[in-house]
Amino acid sequence: MQHELYMMPPIRILVISPNWIGDAVMAQPLLNLLQDQQPEAVIEVLASPWVAPVWRAMPQVALVIEAPFRHGALQLRERRAFARSLRERAYTAAYVLPNTLKFALIPWLAGIPRRVGYRGEMRYGLINVMHRDDAPVARPMVPFYAALAQSPSLPARPRSALPRPTLQVRPAEISQTLAETDLVDDGALIVFAPGAEFGPAKRWPARHFAALALQIRAAHPAARLVLLGSAKDREVGEEIVAQADFVNNLAGVTSLTQAIALIARADAVVSNDSGLLHIASALNRPVVALYGSTDAQHAPPFSDQAAALSLPMDCAPCRQRICPLGHHRCMEDLLPAMVWQSLQTMLCIKSG
């Protein structure tokens, strides 16, 4: 008599992504902790389309489901229908990383029994494992998300006790992207990320990027310089190219998937505090990170070779989108020579 082998259904965990690229990167250590706790669990991620490529670069993620909702819209009927489709996947737990009501509704409507997240906006009942972050100083982002893997009653682990964010890109993806963007895979590749979605207060001036490009060209004539960013960054990229015409402006040309692959190939990255900075850090590329209105301690780079540059000013970090004093000295006075001092060390290590 033959007996059919009974297969237990997999334990599935749903992680609901934040809408910022950098936040998604800094949530990656949470996946390591969840996998350590339940090695047999299948981790799936619900993410907006513009953030989804980041999660696809995380080896712990079995499936990325793209959220079909408009940014900022409640779309209650659509969320209810979408939740019904998720119900079939029989998740045992959901980790709701955004603090909004909209995304907390989905696991509740999907009947997921354990729903973990921060208190956020009007989420009592929707979140049934409630964390709080009421300290007067905001917790750094990696410990903020990693704390969701433990009981709310336990103190958050310090950043030094947590794994650092890590992304992976296959060599074939890098080769394909180089071919698609007409870049030759030889010599040094240096990436500039001159944008910042949050606002202009986070942006190093275009003329400083151009001046740095000229310094790089003088010291490393064969190096290729590439600008990456979204379509919103195309204009600032053109300002840089107008002053340093050898720079290749790919802002708004590449997809995020392609940008991730090019950063994975880069010999060094110079970036404002932006999503691309945190991608470069998670790919362990040499990084020079530029901070003005934001705090380097809140979301630092984690690369083996990393320099977080900022100026000691009474008004910084102000955490404002636009300089409230109108002078933007936190970035204006961060001179190209200061950035070059850190960058040239990284390039010398590479060439050596």
Summarised one tens digit per residue, pLDDT across range 293-334 is 888 888 889 999 999 999 988 888 877 878 877 788 899 999
Do residues 43 and 13 touch, judged by C-beta distance below 8 A? yes
pLDDT of 136 over the 90 cut: no
Q: What domains, with CATH codes, occur in the chain?
A: 12-161 (3.40.50.2000), 171-351 (3.40.50.2000)
Query: So what's the pLDDT on residue 328?
Result: 82
- pTM, entire model: 0.92
Structure tokens of 222?
């064969």
Query: So what's the pLDDT on residue 274?
Result: 93
Helix (H) or strand (E) holding 172: helix 171-180
pLDDT digits (tens, 9 = 90+) for 219-260: 999 999 999 999 999 999 999 999 999 999 999 999 999 999
CA pair distance 195, 153, nearest whole angstrom? 39
CA pair distance 14, 104, nearest whole angstrom? 12
Query: So what's the pLDDT on residue 69?
Result: 84
* Amino acid, res. 326: G
Confidence of residue 352 (pLDDT cuts 50, 70, 90): very low
Confidence of residue 4 (pLDDT cuts 50, 70, 90): low
For 292, residues 6+ apart whose C-beta sits below 8 A from its C-beta are 201, 202, 203, 204, 272, 273, 310, 311, 316, 317, 328, 330, 331, 334
